[in-house]
Amino acid sequence: MEPGQFAEVIPHGDPLALFDAWYAEARGSEPNDANAMALATATAEGAPSVRMVLLKGHGPEGFAFYTNSHSRKGREILANPQAALLFHWKSLRRQVRVEGALTSLDAADADAYFASRARDSQIGAVASDQSAPLDARATFLARFEAAEERFAGGPVERPAHWHGFRLTPRAIEFWHDRPHRLHERRLFTRADAGGAWASTLLYP
């Protein structure tokens, strides 16, 4: 056994504060998109799907992201508002898993974030029927150009189906790589939103 193997690096305490600390380190070390996270959703029948999205806000209330509610993930969220997130920061050899319920963000929050996006990203959101079949890329680009003309000289209006969701965590697991696959894991859980967190180490 190497020196230091017995020292715990994931302490019991506030998991949201620990996430803040790890996320700050990741933003300084990850070469691309430290805010990238895998979002797992499921249909009402429980069939799962997963994709990468970007974290756009986090705090005591939970983890926020934005999407087209007509997309596959949007439809699944509306049908079954239970989801899971995974952050994997390879540069730090760490990952964080989060599970909980999703709720819609206020329209004002969606408006504010949409207004902060690059104009081409705004127009792309207007032009795209996300996840729907597309006959040719040229069709999408023509729709993009039509949207450019529609909003020329003025602000781009947020589509009503483009809005945000927040995952309120009921479980957060932190994983830290250790030599010889003797990894360290700690699971935090709480019975209700705003309640006290309990935690336990897990076998790797």
Is the domain covering 15-115+166-202 a CATH 3.20.20.150 domain?
no
Q: Where are the domains of the chain?
A: 15-115+166-202
Query: E strands within the chain?
Result: 36-42, 48-54, 57-59, 62-68, 82-89, 94-104, 162-176, 184-189, 198-202
Distance between CA atoms of residues 81 and 75, nearest Å: 10
Positions marked active-site: 181
Angle at 192 between CA 189 and CA 197, to 5 degrees: 35
User: What is the tens place of the pLDDT at every residue in 57-101?
Assistant: 999 999 999 999 999 999 999 999 999 999 999 999 999 999 999
Phi, then psi, of 35 in degrees rounded to 5: -90, 5
Which pair of structure tokens corresponds to residue 185?
């894991």
**Dihedral angle, C-alpha 106, 109, 114, 116, nearest 10 °:** 180
pLDDT value, residue 24:
97
The answer on pLDDT for 3 being more than 90 is no
